Amino acid sequence: RTIGDRIGEAKASGNLGNTLKILGQFDEAVVCCQRHLDISQEQGDKVGEARALYNIGNVYHAKGKHLSWNMAQDPGYLPQEVKETLQKASEYYERNLSLVKELGDRAAQGRAYGNLGNTQYLLGNFSEAIAFHKERLAIAKEFGDKAAERRAYSNLGNAHIFLGRFDISAEYYKKTLQLSRQLKDQAVEAQACYSLGNTYTLLQDYEKAIEYHLKHLVIAQELGDR
C-alpha cells in the first residue's frame, strides 16, 4: 500500500483470506478475498479475478462444511444457514468457471468442476453433482492426473448411492480401488474397500460385502488404524 502496488496488495489480501480460512475465521476471510477480487477487477487482472472468485468459493465451502459437521446429517438435509452458505460457494465457483473458460485454463476448470460437484452433493443435488464430477473426471484424464481421477470416481460413487444406483456406484468404487492401488495409497484403498463392502450390502450380495470388509480390516490393521 505504501508504494502504491495495487496488484501486490490484491495478492497479499488473497493470501490473508486463505490463511484466515484455514484458521476458521470465515467472515474475515471473505472480507480479504473480496478485496483481492475488487482490486483485480479494478486493475483488469483477469487471472487475479479468477483466483479471487475461486478463493471466495473455497471460504464459503469450508464454512458450509464446518457448520454442517456440527450437525451430523445426510447430504441434502441442511439447516437454512448451511444451505445458503453452500449456495454462495456454488455461485462463486460458477463465476470462476466461466472466467477460467474464457481464459482457456483447463486445469482451473477441473478444480472448479470438482468443487461444484462437492457443493452440489452437500446440497443434495445429486444429479447436478454427477454432471460436474464427470466433467472433472474428463479433465483429470486429459492431464493424466491420477489422484484427481481417483477422487472423481469416489465422488461419482457416493452421488450414485443417494440416487439408489448401487450397481453404478460399485463400478465407480472399483475404479477408485484400482487407482488407489496404482497410487500406492493404502488409506484410500481401505476407504474404497469399505465403500464397496457397504455398496454390496445394499445390493444384498453379502459374500462380496464380506470379502471387501475383510480387505478393509486387513489394511486397517496393517496401518495400525484403530
- Average pLDDT of the chain, as a whole number: 96
Largest CA distance in the chain: 69
User: How large is the average pLDDT for residues 90-102?
Assistant: 98
Confidence grade of residue 93 (pLDDT, cut at 50, 70, 90): very high
Where are the domain boundaries for CATH 1.25.40.10 in the chain? 1-144, 146-225
pLDDT of residue 27: 96
CATH for the stretch 146-225: 1.25.40.10
Residues 113 and 145: their CA atoms lie apart, in Å, by: 14
In this prediction, residue 70 carries a pLDDT of 74
1-144 is classed in which CATH architecture?
A: Alpha Horseshoe (1.25)
* Cβ contacts of 138 within 8 Å, gap of 6 or more: none
Q: Which residues contact 146 (CB under 8 A, 6 or more apart)?
A: 140, 179, 182, 183
Closest by CA to 66, choosing from 79, 54, 53, 55, is 79
Dist CA 138 CA 135 (whole Å): 5
DSSP for 140-175, written as a single string:
HHHHT-HHHHHHHHHHHHHHHHHTT-HHHHHHHHHH
Please give the distance of CA 69 from its chain centroid, rounded to a whole number. 15
* pLDDT per residue as tens digits for the range 155-177: 999 999 999 999 999 999 999 99
pLDDT digits (tens, 9 = 90+) for 25-52: 999 999 999 999 999 999 999 999 999 9
Q: Grid coordinates in use for 153?
A: 470416481
* Whole-number Å distance between alpha carbons of 216 and 193: 5
Q: What is the pLDDT of residues 65-91, one digit of tens each?
A: 999 887 766 777 789 999 999 999 999
* pLDDT for residue 72: 63
Give pLDDT, residue 73: 67
User: What percentage of residues in the chain have a pLDDT greater than 90?
Assistant: 94
Please answer whether residues 179 and 149 qualify as being in contact, where contact means their C-beta atoms are separated by less than 8 angstroms: yes
Query: What's the pLDDT at 15?
Result: 97
Whole-model pTM?
A: 0.93
85 is written with which cell numbers?
452458505
For residue 99, is pLDDT > 70?
yes
Percent of the chain at pLDDT exceeding 70: 99
Nearest to 58 by CA among 100, 14, 98: 14
